[in-house]
Structure 1
């Protein structure tokens, strides 16, 4: 049987998270514009990746503890990436934008001109 001919959703296959893309995200974050002096962590979550980092600005955590920066989720049904920002006051994730590929997500996250993610 040809595996590529199967509908992967029917057999429970999910392309994300995977270690290759996690490493791509880690490498990409080194090119970010903000808070380059901290080391963010990329952790796997169901269907994607969560980025967290020490809070060097002390805007969110006065003690400089680790805070959520972004959540990247892949919707395999629609073949899109969803980029979420953390509302630290409410403690909830909010959908920021959607993209057709991972690279545009990382470009947006790394530029962050409004300090939406790197607070």
Structure 2
């Protein structure tokens, strides 16, 4: 009975989301190159963070509503960050890139040379 209890507690919980990294993401988004006049929000999801923003371009939402921008998931086994972009036509998340560190993923998101995130 005791060994079963120890095995259950040995399973490590998700390291993400956590409030520290959520705040780091919020601060980093202030350095983005596109749509600097809107305020994106960072919400938590299982294993990571979802970034949403008002759609000022009206390309995705003609009414200017809040749209998904990016999804950041932490792969605990590989200790990597997966950065996803939203395919709004299909309503699916697509893997954009994988990064060893969170700042590298955020740099890719902030620069967004092909406008795949900030549409």
TM-score by length of 1: 0.91
Question: Is the counterpart of residue 56 in structure 1 residue 42 in structure 2?
Answer: no
Which protein has the bigger helix share?
A: 2
Number of matched residues? 111
Residue of structure 2 in register with 1:46 after alignment: 46
Per-residue Cα deviation, 1:45-78 (whole angstroms, up to 9, x for no partner): 0000000000000000000000000000000011
Larger Rg: 2
Q: How does 1:28-107 map to 2 (within 5 A)?
A: 28-107=28-107
Structure 2, unmatched stretches of 5+, are 1-8
Query: Cα distance, 1:14 vs. partner?
Result: 1.6
The unaligned stretches of length 5 or more in structure 1 are: 1-8
Residue 26 in structure 1 maps to residue 54 in structure 2: no
Q: Normalising to structure 2: TM-score of the pair?
A: 0.91
- Aligned structure 1 segments of 4 or more residues deviating by more than 3 angstroms: none
RMSD: 1.1
Once the two structures are overlaid, the 10-residue window that deviates more, 37-46 or 9-18, is 9-18
